[in-house]
Structure 1
Amino acid sequence: MPVPNSATLASFVCLGSAMSVGPSVFPAFQQIGIYEEFLGISKFLSHAGAYKESMEPYNPNDYRPMEEFGGYGMRIVTRPQLYNLMLKQIPAHKIHFGKRVLNVTEKDEKVTVHTSDNNTYEGDIVVGADGAYSAVRQRMYEKLKSKGTLPLSDYEELPFGCTCLIGQTKELDPEKFPIVNEPNCQFRAVWGEGKPYTWLLFSTAEKTLCWMVMHHLDRKANQEGIDQRFRNCDNSEWGSFPAQAMCDETSNFPIPLEEGKNHTLAELYELTPKDLISKVMFEEKVFKTWYSGRTVLLGDGAVTAIHDAIALANLFYAMPTRTSQDLTTIFDEYKQERYPAVLESFKDSEMVSKVAEKGIEGYILKFVITHIPLWLWKIGLSKKVRLRPQIGFLKAVEDKGTVVRAVSTSEQKARAVFEKQQQQLDQDHQLSIAVSI
């Protein structure tokens, strides 16, 4: 099954800050042969530190138990580095840039994608993999809405949780910035006092500092964000909104770079190339409609999207035929497997965002996070490593974690087909040897 990849952008744009990656995807990374290279572009995360604006530290969160529970430690990598690593695994001729999807049509057990440059691409399925603003998603939802079969919640406005300013400095001199020479990633967050902001910085394997400034929105600001999106026409790309105003608003926010020394975000802004600073509005929503006909959607967010892709690939591998009925069956199985995990992740994200809220709920959550006993913290970490899916049609890797991983029905199906085929290959090989003798 040939798999071309189409992207709206004319070229690959590497924007963004850093992200945490851990046991939930590393088994798959090992299977496809990128784990060792990933170690070289990332840093181990042992603790996540948080501070008051006075630079008084809260109790740090210890992530080292994840290595025992899930078989791998948590690591921090810059978004561009991870994307470039994954991009290298795809043959260049299978990626087409500058393609904007206008329509998706189905006929005679085939699906056709029509793009704005008057080209068409025919295949068995279409996967919308570019988030909430995916053109594939929009076209699919428009058709379902016209038929009256799209749930109301799926075409309601996306709620904006926060606006986020992100960037990555140039490579820094370790003598001036000793933090970049630390062997482990230095993750440091500051919770604003009396202001709806949280800001973070991460040291990277590139001797840079990635940073992120989050402005948590109330209901009024949320609506203003929706209005702004329409004024700017498109919020789906990184850097859609001017970042300079937010830089100016937050430049005097203190940051914990060195103990006993005063530093502010302004220093990081000055050290960051302007084309690597972007501002984006983060929307969080769990859609109910994941597929229709021969079109299926992946979730947003790095780990969620990877897990979705693994589940789909496993189901495609085990699929007996390519009929529309078989596709509907596996798309439904895909949603049944992934929806509970996506919903759980969404709820976790909602809880974290409430830490920055004013009032008693935000205060209680902040207190709990910074005073949680280690035994209870470990219970939480152990739950986060249960999802460690593997690619069922590749050689399995050893499961090293002490926490039993969750059962993946898609992986089991693919594994059964894969092992049956391997047995047949072994039998054929033995037969050929016997005939030769």
Structure 2
Amino acid sequence: MRVVIVGGGIAGLTLANTLEKANIDYVLLERRSLFDPQVGASIGLSPASMRIFDQLGAAQEILDATKSIKRGRHHRSDGSLIMPPDENFPLLERRFGYGVCFLDRQIVLRSLYNAIGVKERCLLDKRVREIVHLDEGVKVHCEDGTTYEGDVVLGCDGVNSKVRDEMWRIASQVDPTYFTQKEREKMTAEYTCLFGISHPLPGMEEGDVDHVYDKGHAMLVIHGKGGRIYWFYFQRLPKPVHFHSDAFPKYTAKDAEDLAEREGWRPYHDKYKLKDLWKNRVTYTLVAMEEALFENWYYGRIATMGDSSHKMTANQGSGGNAAIESVAAMANELKRLQETTSPSTPLTPSQVRAAFAAWKAKRKNRITSTWKDAAKFCRMQGLESLGDIITVFYVLPNAANFITALYTKSLLGAEVLEYLPLPERSFRGTAPFNPKQGTGMEESTFVRLLFTLPLLAMAYFAYQTPTSLVEPFSTLFSTSASSTAWTQAFSLQLSTAVIYALWLIESHRRANALTPVQLAVLFASLSNTLGPGLIAPIFYAFHYVTSPIEKFAPSDMRLTNVAYTRTVLPMMLFHALVPLAIRIGGISLAMDDNAVWWNLLLAPFLVGFLQYLLVRTGVSNTNIYQDALNDTEKDLPAITRTVYVLTTLSTLQYWSSPTTSHPLAPSILLPTAIWLLLLFNDLKAAGMLRRSWLAITSAGVAVAVIGGPTTALGLGWLWRERVLASERHRSAVTRERYGGGKTVWEVEGTGPVGWAEKVKANGHANGGLTGDGHTNGLNGHAKEGVKVNGHANVGFNGQAK
């Protein structure tokens, strides 16, 4: 197999590295005279990209040249802060082992080029003139008169892709309907971007990022290593323009200077404005930001990737990282194709099409979601809609983890080179990469909603026969109540104490931020007054729908706010034992039903207020953000203590009168049991709980018989808590599964037939290395020339022969 790569940018050089490590013959054609020109561009690299670079041996040079982002600031158009600085970025490094880093694009290009072993296969000043598509292969003709042959052509040549144009031309000669006119006109621009690199400004710190939100305008400023500044100024065009139209803007240096002078007043910080960045500029460029997600990425033996097939806006920094992932996915398919075909037989068109189709199928969902997210983020920064305004000025200030959660979701299911060992650094995080989770792999909210139908049905039937806790609450505080009636009411009080404790703990969990579960106090109040039979199932339905198992991929998302969690036990002891003390003391609290109703309505809010006071008075000096970074199990002792104490009290009451229960008890215990079964089903589906349903239900029934149903439910919830804290999804890329130099193909068994045996025989997974650890002679071809179709096309001096 031989691959002709067109384009020597980040995607092209990454592809060259991946093919060399796969021992796949290739030639790279770059139209520029340098592989690492300084064109004023910067790039933000995600942990997913750094993991791939680590596999290729290019990561350390990049890490040495950059600093991870540490702090994000979000500003209004006047430079004032929308909310306190966002300190969550280090959490990404804690989760994935690599931080989000920004640096000169030139440095990344140089690092990738330096990682290539046989540099003679990378050729400069090679501008493609024409591609000839044949049944047995392809020929790429360059403007300097040279020709390069191969089995496939891969276009990594950016938004102005010559390979894409040639692919469209070739397809139109055979099947004019393959690429429709609508497809050809997909690329448009709605925003311009003036970007550049500047010298440091006094008082600014490495790793700081500033976002500015304004109607039709936005700014992104990153302070990199040594204070070097990477900046972007975005401005909405009067109307969208098509890429191939005469109206598509092509800006000059004078246009950039005029824009900078006109908009220089715009602040990005309380100290500095755009004009300060411009004054200290090193390089700059003004462009229209193209956007397009093409439907077809390949035809015959030609494929495009990166900006040539999915061009994104720059606000989120997704484009370059998506291209790197697409390259890795393509390398995986080409390596699989190489391992399953004879080296002496040319690849057939059907074999190539099958490999390209598998590549696209692997990438389509993830790319589509990433592209849409990038477009949404661009519009949100430009405050295009009322929803954007609400999100920026009202949601973000109350959800510091919102942006981190979006980044995490985008990283979880990232591509990796499946035929190379996973780097040790990628195992250090608290959120293992997982190809079955993240962007494009989200669990269906509709399906989860269907699972809640039993709960919603229970709520509906309870609505038909309304009840409340007024009667049992009155019984608890009545000295004239019979012993049996009071015991029943007290049993229900202990049950609600256990269940409400779980609600309060869930309300302070990181995974439940910005969901209705945070309003547990409100749900408790409604449960008291409208009846647990109506409200409890609704609460559980909200929880289940908004808590898919992928939310817990980062272990810190299971974490609760320890300061509040420690207050749950004293609050629930007060809730449970005060009636007992009043009964023992013979104290009578005469209240009519109206007074009881108001007590039930307001009591949960009083609990919430007392929790707040306890936290403020220093019952805990822990910080949930620091716990997320340093100790993701900090809350487990408090949770365990709370559940054990409350279920012990419930068990003692059950032992004292095992046949006595309040008629309302099933209305809160039964929906809780269904909720727990749904949560356990999630654990089993994710492979995090390997016990059989028979074992699980038998254990639950046994505990219920011995200690009572409330105790069984409380301990069942605690069991789930411990599983979340200690177990990983079955597809998580962890050291336990992948350590010791194992590859994805080897562990998952998804590689070519015989791959595992080959790895064992060679002692390594890198087919591009010989036994002495050096790069071999390109699939057995002579080192002085690469033989393709029986003749040497490219000598190692880089000249055409």
Q: Is contact 1:311–1:411 with CA below 8 Å preserved after alignment? A: no
1:36 and 2:373 aligned: no
Q: How far 1:166 sits from its partner (Å)?
A: 0.9
2:428 to 400, 413, 430: 400
**In structure 2, what is the Cα distance between the partners aligned to 1:341 and 1:109?**
32
Partner-residue secondary structure (3-state), 1:385? helix
Q: What whole-Å deviation, never above 9, does each CA across 1:193-227 have from its counterpart, x for those lacking one?
A: xx521122211214321111111234x25369953
2:396 to 357, 370, 389: 370
1:186 to 168, 184, 208: 208
Q: Is contact 2:221–2:231 with CA below 8 Å preserved after alignment? A: yes
Partner of 2:148: 121
Partner-residue secondary structure (3-state), 1:4? strand
1:145 to 164, 168, 172: 172
**In structure 2, what is the Cα distance between the partners aligned to 1:82 and 1:118?**
31
**In structure 2, what is the Cα distance between the partners aligned to 1:294 and 1:372?**
51
5+ residue gaps, structure 1: 433-437
Alignment map for 1:146-161 (pairs within 5 Å):
146=173, 147-148=175-176, 149-161=178-190
Q: How far 1:145 sits from its partner (Å)?
A: 3.3
Q: What whole-Å deviation, never above 9, does each CA across 1:120-146 have from its counterpart, x for those lacking one?
A: 111111100022321001110122234
**In structure 1, what is the Cα distance between the partners aligned to 2:65 and 2:187?**
34
Identify if the C-alpha distance between structure 1 residues 200 and 69 changes in structure 2 by more than 3 Å, giving closer, same or farther: same
Partner of 1:350: 375
Instruction: Give the TM-score normalised by structure 2.
Output: 0.47
1:247 and 2:255 aligned: no
**In structure 1, what is the Cα distance between the partners aligned to 2:373 and 2:187?**
18
Alignment RMSD: 2.9
Identify if the C-alpha distance between structure 1 residues 311 and 223 changes in structure 2 by more than 3 Å, giving closer, same or farther: closer
1:229 and 2:248 aligned: yes
Partner of 2:293: 286
Partner of 2:121: 94
Tell me the percent identity: 21
1:197 and 2:534 aligned: no
1:271 to 270, 277, 280: 280
Partner-residue secondary structure (3-state), 1:98? coil
Q: Is contact 2:126–2:144 with CA below 8 Å preserved after alignment? A: yes
Partner-residue secondary structure (3-state), 2:391? helix
Which structure shows the higher helix fraction?
2
Structure 1 stretch 113-122 or stretch 377-386: which is displaced more? 377-386
Considering Cα pairs closer than 8 Å and 6+ residues apart, tell me whether 1 or 2 has the greater RCO.
1
**In structure 2, what is the Cα distance between the partners aligned to 1:123 and 1:400?**
40
Identify if the C-alpha distance between structure 1 residues 372 and 103 changes in structure 2 by more than 3 Å, giving closer, same or farther: farther
Counterpart AA for 1:124: D
**In structure 2, what is the Cα distance between the partners aligned to 1:19 and 1:88?**
18
Q: How far 1:303 sits from its partner (Å)?
A: 0.7
1:82 and 2:108 aligned: yes
Alignment map for 1:323-362 (pairs within 5 Å):
323-355=348-380, 356-362=382-388
**In structure 2, what is the Cα distance between the partners aligned to 1:426 and 1:305?**
31
Identify if the C-alpha distance between structure 1 residues 323 and 145 changes in structure 2 by more than 3 Å, giving closer, same or farther: closer
Q: How far 1:105 sits from its partner (Å)?
A: 1.2
Identify if the C-alpha distance between structure 1 residues 78 and 416 changes in structure 2 by more than 3 Å, giving closer, same or farther: farther
Q: Is contact 1:389–1:411 with CA below 8 Å preserved after alignment? A: no
Higher-Rg member (1/2): 2
1:15 and 2:39 aligned: yes
Q: Is contact 2:211–2:218 with CA below 8 Å preserved after alignment? A: yes
Counterpart AA for 1:196: G
Structure 1 stretch 287-296 or stretch 361-370: which is displaced more? 361-370
Partner-residue secondary structure (3-state), 1:215? strand
Q: Is contact 2:74–2:211 with CA below 8 Å preserved after alignment? A: yes
Partner of 1:315: 333
1:299 and 2:306 aligned: yes
Q: What whole-Å deviation, never above 9, does each CA across 1:56-79 have from its counterpart, x for those lacking one?
A: 112244223223332322222222
Identify if the C-alpha distance between structure 1 residues 253 and 137 changes in structure 2 by more than 3 Å, giving closer, same or farther: same
Counterpart AA for 2:75: Y
1:48 and 2:72 aligned: yes
Q: Is contact 1:46–1:63 with CA below 8 Å preserved after alignment? A: yes
1:166 and 2:182 aligned: no
Counterpart AA for 1:303: N
Instruction: Give the TM-score normalised by structure 1.
Output: 0.84
**In structure 2, what is the Cα distance between the partners aligned to 1:335 and 1:299?**
12
1:419 to 756, 764, 780: 756
Q: How far 1:152 sits from its partner (Å)?
A: 3.7
**In structure 1, what is the Cα distance between the partners aligned to 2:301 and 2:100?**
37
Partner-residue secondary structure (3-state), 1:391? coil
Counterpart AA for 1:9: R
Which structure shows the higher strand fraction?
1
2:231 to 211, 218, 224: 211
Counterpart AA for 2:280: L
Partner of 1:435: none
**In structure 1, what is the Cα distance between the partners aligned to 2:419 and 2:166?**
32
Q: How far 1:316 sits from its partner (Å)?
A: 1.1
